[in-house]
A and B are shown apart, each in its own frame.
Chain A
Amino acid sequence: MTLDDLTRTSGEWLRGAGPESDIVMCSRIRLARNLADFPFTNRASRNEKAGIESQVKSAVDAAGLDVAYFDVNGMNNLDRQFLVERQIISRELAGGEGPRGVAVTPKENISIMVNEEDHLRIQYMLSGFRLNEVWDEITALDDQLEDDIAYAYSSSLGYLTACPTNVGTGIRVGVMLHLPGIVANKQIDKVFRALQKINLAVRGLYGEGSQAFGDFYQISNQQTLGKSEEEIIKILTDVVPQVLQFERSARQDLVTGRRQHLHDQVSRAYGVLKTAQTISSEETMLLLSSVRMGINLGLIDDLSISTVNELFIQTQPAFLQKLRGSELGVEERNVARASYLRSRLANGRAVEDE
């Protein structure tokens, strides 16, 4: 598998399948791990980073996973950005230095970042609300890797990580939610505050920093010490349904209270996406968000959720440039984006694909 192959496929987590997938885009768990024998990445020399990379690569090989390893160090900026857009690597790994890379499966459900802030960042993602299933998979993978890697671990503090905010279980449990209803009724700040009170973090899924685009938000745990992985997962599996209920009733209010307005908004969004000649990334996100909600509410019936999910990724700058095979300026990207949207939505996969 090469990077270019990825422009022709899409990740399992975009399938729009699984429980609650009208609101829950995907479930993701990340484990932070380090090798006992080496300094953490930020203090490791070039040679040591190369040593860490080769040990991890051989452990991944031994685990018999069907993965491709991408050497991020030897990669150009466009390709790095492309992997960030696909949620395969973090911005931090893309912008780091020295030997580093990522092992990723063709379905993109597993990615193992090497020499990010920690030596290993093992990530498992599935579409829909399936945290327990994700946990079963990732802990088994962790066990396999441990056959060949001695992890930095202390019996009192657990898995030792470069930042003390990850020590203990090293686990980050996250659920990506599409919340256009709660955004529309301006209750999103209230939801944030309630979640922060129980030590859950909320952040935007796409775009720079913590700003949310397209009404996607990720809810995840912050604390990693003093609770078991199962207990941490349980907090999320208890709380997320309440947010889902909140979103559903917000959407219902929109439907009953402002049906005509809502239908108009959704149809216009779909219309613009199908016909625009030039369109920015921000506007695309906003319109796709409306269209996604419109499909879930039965206002659009000739487009599948998985196509819309894919378009969130495929209208990002690096994807468009890789598709064209050349670097594009902002204006050229806006034109390329509009053209790509027109072609995907004209002969876009119909609903029966799902």
Chain B
Amino acid sequence: MTCQRCQDEAVVHLTELVDGRRKETHLCVACARASGLSLPDAPPDFGLDAVLQDLIKKHVGELVGELAESTCPDCRLRYMDFRTGGRLGCPHDYQVFRKGLLPMLQRFHGATRHVGKRARARPGASLRLRLRSQLRQAVAREDYEEAARLRDQIRLKDQHA
């Protein structure tokens, strides 16, 4: 079943009575959220991973392996998590999952390029996010000297915020 708004895979199926007639609605997670429907936080568990893999395979074809395994180094969101929950974890995810996102943006918005208001250029604006993931990596490899240095740098940045 495909979403009636964007041809994505529909996961929300509604039946309502309008003027005595049955009205069926089929939507993907993104379109259901966009139309103001509140979705349960945890999706029902019926071997979802397998189902999802199947959906993604149909959806992004060749990219599956590479995309399905990709994880954002900064917020550690997996592409799979995004496909399940419909939410990204941090600004860098737009870069990390670009290949999967662009077709989705094209379907939903009919475009993949921003026109309109521009934000002020701020080089290094997302530095803190990078430092944070470096800190996590340093702790993971037990390089506590480096971890301490990064922690101080983050603290310094927080104080200047």
Contact = CB atoms under 8 A, between A and B. Distances in A.
B117 A36 contact: no
B114 A223 contact: no
5 contacts: A37-B157, A37-B161, A42-B89, A210-B36, A223-B108
Contact of A156 (B77, B108, B114): B114
Contacts of A39: 74-75, 89-90, 129
Nearest to B161: A55
Interface of A: 34, 36-40, 42-43, 51, 55, 91, 117, 139, 142, 146, 150-160, 162-165, 167-169, 186, 189, 199, 201, 203, 209-210, 222-231
Contacts of A210: 35-37
Contacts of B36: 201, 203, 209-210
A165 B108 contact: yes
B72 to A, nearest CB: 9
Nearest to A47: B158
A37 B120 CA distance: 15
Interface residues of B, number: 47
A155 B118 CA distance: 8
B122 interface: yes
Contact of B126 (A37, A91, A227): A37
A189 B35 CA distance: 16
B117 A43 contact: no
Contact of B90 (A43, A117, A154, A230): A43
A165 B67 CA distance: 20
A223 B110 contact: yes
B22 interface: no
B125 interface: yes
A54 to B, nearest CB: 8
B65 interface: no
B59 to A, nearest CB: 14
B116 A168 contact: yes
Interface string B111-149: 111111111101001111100000000000000000000
Contacts of B108: 164-165, 222-223
Given A160-B91, A165-B108, A226-B110, A36 B158 contact: no
A156 B34 contact: no
B117 A139 contact: yes
B75 A43 contact: yes
Contacts of B128: 37-38
A90 B107 CA distance: 27
B74 A229 contact: no
B15 interface: no
Q: Which 3 A-B pairs have the closest CB atoms?
A: A226-B111, A158-B114, A153-B119
